[in-house]
């Protein structure tokens, strides 16, 4: 890639990233306001635990393979609501810039009804800029095709994550994240075009070796429901990542 092209990409990503930083701040303020006003709002609250095991495999200098398995426990952590299995490939195309594609199979365990199976395909853009400060920033946008019962819902999800080490050369770090989801079309299985949900989280991570890390934190998921009560999930998120 020529230097001129790389320069244009860098300028575009910096501008786009600045917009996301502002959006991150807006979402954090909006969540704080919602939590203050929560007693006056009609919302269904649920305590959940999400467990994730992931492996990031470097294939060569530019290519990587990611594998992930997830279990989501809900209904006040009384039963397994959903399992997910995902695989994706990523290719580095510039400094801190990667593109990729993936596939996942999701099984939603519905109480009193048959399980719902979903096949999901996605394309993604990931960027980790050099900030020049201790805080590390990463940005990811995915375009998903969610296929359920033969009907496809197109969804865009965009995440911003900030990570900061706790101490000089420390293996412990703090993180915060924000992710917004938007459907691009309606689908027979329930998708409606427009805003789908938001997720805002924070927690601590521990790199206990060069090949493994653990993150534990709180994730707030807000999902509006036009015909019923909005849903507010309070999630303990536990993630183990291996880098063999």
Q: Please name the residue ranges forming H helices in 38-117.
A: none
For residues 76 and 140, give the distance between their C-alpha atoms in angstroms, rounded to a whole number.
30
Residues 115, 116, 119, 124, Cα dihedral to 10°: -110
Higher pLDDT, 33 or 168: 168
Q: Domain map of the chain by residue range?
A: 3-242
Right CATH for 3-242 from 2.40.160.40, 1.10.3720.10, 1.20.1290.10, 3.30.300.30: 2.40.160.40
For residues 236 and 46, give the distance between their C-alpha atoms in angstroms, rounded to a whole number.
11
Under 8 Å CB-to-CB from 223, ≥6 apart: which residues? 196, 197, 230, 231, 232, 233
pLDDT digits (tens, 9 = 90+) for 70-90: 999 999 999 999 999 999 999
pLDDT digits (tens, 9 = 90+) for 91-102: 999 999 999 999
The pTM for the full model equals 0.83
């Amino acid at each position: 890639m020529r230097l001129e092209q790389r320069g244009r990409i860098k300028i575009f990503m910096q501008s786009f990233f600045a917009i996301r930083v502002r959006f991150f701040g807006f979402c954090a303020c909006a969540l704080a306001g919602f939590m203050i006003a929560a007693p006056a709002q009609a919302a269904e609250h649920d305590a959940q635990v999400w467990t994730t095991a992931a492996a990031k495999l470097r294939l060569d200098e530019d290519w990587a393979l990611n594998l992930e398995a997830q279990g989501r426990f809900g209904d006040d952590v009384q039963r397994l609501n959903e399992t997910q299995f995902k695989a994706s490939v990523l290719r580095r195309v510039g400094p801190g810039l990667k593109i990729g594609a993936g596939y996942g199979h999701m099984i939603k365990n519905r109480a009193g009804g048959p399980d719902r199976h979903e096949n999901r395909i996605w394309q993604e853009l990931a960027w980790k800029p050099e900030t020049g400060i201790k805080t590390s920033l990463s940005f990811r946008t995915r375009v998903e095709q969610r296929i359920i019962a033969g009907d496809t819902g197109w969804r865009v999800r965009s995440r911003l994550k900030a990570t900061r080490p706790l101490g000089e050369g420390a293996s412990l770090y703090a993180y915060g994240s924000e992710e917004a989801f938007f459907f691009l079309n309606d689908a027979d299985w329930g998708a409606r075009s427009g805003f789908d949900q938001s997720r805002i989280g924070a927690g601590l991570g521990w790199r206990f070796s060069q090949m493994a890390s653990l993150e534990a934190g709180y994730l707030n998921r807000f999902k509006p429901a036009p015909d019923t009560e909005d849903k507010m999930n309070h999630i303990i998120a536990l993630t183990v990542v291996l880098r063999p």
